Structure 1
Amino acid sequence: MLQITLRYIPYHREVAFLQIKQTEVTSVKAYLPIFYIHVYTAVFALLGGFTQFNNSILTKYKKLHRAMGYLYFIVVVFFAAPSGIFMGYHANGGFLSKISFILLGSLWLFFTIKAVYYIRKKDIKNHRHFMMRSFALAFSAITLRMWKVILVYLFHPSPMDIYQIIAWLGWIPNLILIEYLIRKNINHEKK
């Protein structure tokens, strides 16, 4: 993801993904700045998120965990999720792709806010569960690209077909897996 982000430095209008978004770049004045906000901040959400589930950091470096958690919260709530929702409104692939990306961004925002709500209530279990959900959605940046490579390699679909498929595959399986792990953990704790 860092390598993908670095393609957009310095600030260019016709590089990588933006090559297929020239209609938006030229006709929607806010698109390019919001796109860059999303790209530049989402990579920090991934970095911050990766530190949140490491037991060593959680037990030995609580201040680092807290600082990275705040970084994650600020990046997601104020930058990456709102810009992702805006970009979802302008997504390729038609109505279903737009719905998917808007829903993804909205749930990412909601789960992140809910995680902070629970930690402020000192409810660590629900905080962890909502952070797992939030990061599953942040991780969709990676799984979306993984699914794209797999589907293109196996089936050679048209670009718009692939976009409509990965719009959903990028995050739904992540969320299903996390819900399974949360339920499994809850059931294990009851025993």
Structure 2
Amino acid sequence: MKKYLKLSFPFLMTLCFSYFFILMIQITWQYIPFRNDVAFLQIKQTEVSEIPFYLFFFYTHVYSAIFVLLAGFTQFNSGLLKNRPIIHRNIGKLYVFTILFFSAPSGLFIGIFANGGFYSKISFVTLSILWFYFTLKGFLAIKNKNIVLHNVFMYRSFALTFSAVTLRFWKVFLVYLFQPSPMDVYQIIAWLGWIPNLLIVEFYLYNQSKK
């Protein structure tokens, strides 16, 4: 039974991730070709028209996030790490480079103008800073041959990467059950999108350290 669960869990995780990844592609596809009046941007026309470079940072974040989501997920494939370490390293470098130079900085910029007021902005700015920090720490750790610390910070980094998915899940869940006002939705999901992810990872890392 344990052997069956051990074999089936990676498959179920891949299946689950694939489903949400396809949903993310569908969301991203709405912004192709470049337009400033579709989907989420329909309610951001003030920023689009009044904030210099808002669209540039927005599209940088949207397009880069889909790549780091996929790249990050592959990094936890033990078979890839064991049998194709060069591929693991190269994808990891792409993941780190994209987050540090594109995804996190652009997320920080658009987070300053997030919907939901002050508390939402604080959340998204904090998320971007931690995302950058965890990813950088993970990269520096492996450069110093510290594999344990590398794994710890990369788990934390991907927990925040995956907030792109969980944020949208919580939004659908809350609207379906409670029909809160749009402002309340943004204030809630701004924090629910990433804090539970990080808590789950910290719980996992804590248990791993006790083994």
Q: What is the Cα deviation at residue 185 of structure 1?
A: 0.3
What's the secondary structure of 1:157's corresponding residue?
Answer: coil
Residue matched to 1:128: 151
Displacement of 1:59: 0.6
Structure 1 residue ranges without an equivalent (≥5): none
Superposition pairs of residues 27-176 of structure 1, within 5 angstroms: 27-176=50-199
Name the structure 2 match of 1:177: 200
Answer yes or no: is 1:24 the counterpart of 2:47: yes
- Distance in 1, matches of 2:52 and 2:144, equals 41
Q: Distance in 1 between matches of 2:144 and 2:40?
A: 41
Cα distance in structure 1, aligned partners of 2:154 and 2:26: 25
* Runs of 4+ displaced beyond 3 Å: none
Give the alignment's Cα RMSD to 1 decimal.
0.5
CA distance in 1, matches of 2:173, 2:47: 28
- Distance in 2 between the 1:158 and 1:166 partners? 12
State how far apart, in whole Å, the 1-side matches of 2:27 and 2:101 are. 22
Q: Whole-Å Cα distance in 2 between the matches of residues 22 and 11 of structure 1? A: 15
Equivalent residue letter for 1:87: I
Give 1:29 deviation, angstroms.
1.5
Please, what TM-score do these two structures have when normalized by structure 2?
A: 0.88
Task: List runs of 5+ in structure 2 lacking aligned partners.
Answer: 1-23
Shift of residue 6, structure 1, vs aligned partner:
1.0
Cα distance in 2 for partners of 1:72, 1:2 equals 18
Cα distance between partner residues in 2 of 1:160 and 1:167? 11
Q: How big is the shift at 1:61?
A: 1.0
- Give the 3-state SS of the residue equivalent to 1:90 in structure 2: coil
CA–CA separation in structure 1 for the residues paired with 2:86 and 2:137: 21
Instruction: Give the aligned residue type for 2:128.
Output: G
Q: Work out the percentage of aligned pairs sharing the same amino acid.
A: 58
Deviation at 1:3, TM superposition (A): 1.2
Give the drift of 1:141.
0.3
2 CA distance for matches of 1:125 and 1:184? 14
Deviation per residue, 1:3-22 (Å, 9 max, x gap): 11111110000111101110
**Equivalent position amino acid for 1:44 in 2:** F
Task: Report the AA paired with residue 116 of structure 2.
Answer: G
Q: Describe the SS at the equivalent of 1:110.
A: helix
Once residues 52 and 152 of structure 2 are traced to their aligned partners in structure 1, the CA distance between those partners, rounded to angstroms, is 38
Structure 1 residue 63: deviation in Å?
0.9
* TM-score normalised according to structure 1 size: 0.97
